[in-house]
Amino acid sequence: MNVVEEIKKKREFSGLPDSIVERVADLSKGDVKESRKLLRKYFGVFLTNKVLKGKGDLLKAHMSSKKRDYEKFYGEIFSDIDSVGSVIDLGCGVNGFSYEYLPKGISYVGVEAAGQLVEHMNDYFKANDFLAEAVVGDLFDVENVLKILRGQKKLRVVFMFQVVDALENLERDFSKKFISEISGECEKIVLTLPTESLGGRKKFAVQRKWIVDFLEENFVIEKDFLRDGERIIVLRK
C-alpha cells in the first residue's frame, strides 16, 4: 500500500482527490501522520462527522458561512451585475447550500475537493430541483478548472471565498497565477479574504497587501467592501 492509500484509509480523507493527498504527502515528506494533520488543517471544518453524514443545516457547519447573512451578502455582490448566466464556486465548501439566496435563474457549479460534501450538495440540489451541481475537483489542476469555466453560460461569475490562504499554504504565489489564468474564461471574480479569526474573537492586522496590490495592478476592481468578518472584492479583467 502506498502513502496516498494509507492516508486515505481514514474515512474523512477517502473522498479527496489523489492529487491533493499526494501534494500534502510531498510537503510532509511521506509522513502519514503529518499528512493527515495538514489535511485536517485545510479541510477539517468540512470533514466532521456531521458533514460526512450530511446531517443538519450544513450551511451552519463552517464558521465563515455561518456568519454570513447570505441575502445581504449576495444582494450587495449582484446589485449592479446584469444578466448573470452562471456562478462557478471554486473551493465551495458548504457554500452550495446557499443556492436559494442567489438571484433567480442562475446556474451554479460548485467545485470542491471533499467528495462526501459534493455528494450531499448534489442530493440537496436534486431534492429542490435547483439548476445546480457540485463536482469533485483540485484547484491546482488549472486545465480542468478552465474546462469547467468554458462549459458555463455567460456572464460567468467565479466565487473564490476564502481560498487564497489555502492555496498559498500549498504553493507560494499560486493564487496570482491561478487568478490570471481563470480571468480569461470568466467575466467577474468575487474573491473574499477573512478579516477576523473564525470564531470572530481576533481581528487580523495583516491586510494581505501582496494580493490586493496584485489585483489593483492587473484588474479592474468594481467593488471592495467589508461584511461579516470578510473583505469582499469584485473584479474583472
What 3-state DSSP class applies to 194? strand
Phi, psi of 86 (to 5 degrees): -150, 155
DSSP class per residue in 86-113: EEEEET-TTGGGGGGGSPTT-EEEEEES
Report whether pLDDT(198) > 80. Answer: no
pLDDT given at position 200: 47
Identify which has the larger pLDDT, 68 or 98: 98
pLDDT given at position 207: 65
What class, spelled out in words, does domain 58-236 have in CATH?
alpha beta
Q: Do the strands 86-90 and 107-112 form a parallel or antiparallel pair, or are they unpaired?
A: parallel
- Total residues found in the chain within this entry: 237
Residues 6+ apart with CB under 8 A from 2: none
pLDDT given at position 60: 66
The percent of residues in the chain predicted with pLDDT above 70, rounded, is 85
CB 191, CB 216: distance < 8 Å: no
Q: Average per-residue pLDDT in the chain?
A: 87
CB 194, CB 230: distance < 8 Å: yes
Q: Which amino acid is at 165?
A: D
Residues 6+ apart with CB under 8 A from 148: 88, 109, 111, 135, 137
Domain segments of the chain as ranges:
3-47, 58-236
pLDDT given at position 53: 62
Side-chain half-sphere exposure of 126, counting CA atoms within 13 A: 7
pLDDT given at position 205: 45
Average pLDDT over residues 101-126: 93
Identify which has the larger pLDDT, 214 or 115: 214
CB 210, CB 173: distance < 8 Å: no
Identify which has the larger pLDDT, 204 or 85: 85
Average pLDDT over residues 180-206: 77
Three cell numbers, residue 183? 480571468
Q: Which amino acid is at 50?
A: K
Minimum mean pLDDT among 62-71, 97-106, 132-141: which range? Answer: 62-71
Residue 74 CA: distances (Å) to CA of 28, 68, 87: 38, 10, 12
Q: Is the pTM of this model over 0.85?
A: yes
CB 216, CB 185: distance < 8 Å: no
Average pLDDT over residues 176-187: 97
Summarised one tens digit per residue, pLDDT across range 50-85 is 666 666 566 766 556 677 889 999 999 999 887 899
Residues 6+ apart with CB under 8 A from 67: 200, 228, 229
